Amino acid sequence: MIPGFENEFIGKKVGDEVNFPITFPKDYHAEEFAGNEYYFACSIDSIDVATVPSLDDPEFLAKIAGD
């Protein structure tokens, strides 16, 4: 990810429009983007949330133990 890119989406919800400029790092792996500023216009169509189970959750432990 480009530093700061994901910060633009914090606190947003489905249906929001997010518009912002980002300057790519000078050492970015794709030379044609390195050091240049680009303007992003994004629509948030969905939000996925990852849930990490507790390591002492019996259901999770049974699942990884193969029970």
Sign, Cα dihedral of 27, 33, 39, 42: negative
Confidence of residue 42 (pLDDT cuts 50, 70, 90): very high
The Cα–Cα gap between 28 and 64 comes to 39
Show the domain range for 61: 6-65
The mean predicted confidence, pLDDT, of the chain is 92
Query: How many percent of the chain have pLDDT more than 70?
Result: 99
Confidence of residue 67 (pLDDT cuts 50, 70, 90): low
The answer to whether position 12 is within a domain reads yes
The Cα–Cα gap between 24 and 31 comes to 10
Task: Count structural domains, the chain.
Answer: 1
Average pLDDT over residues 28-47: 96
The answer to whether position 1 is within a domain reads no
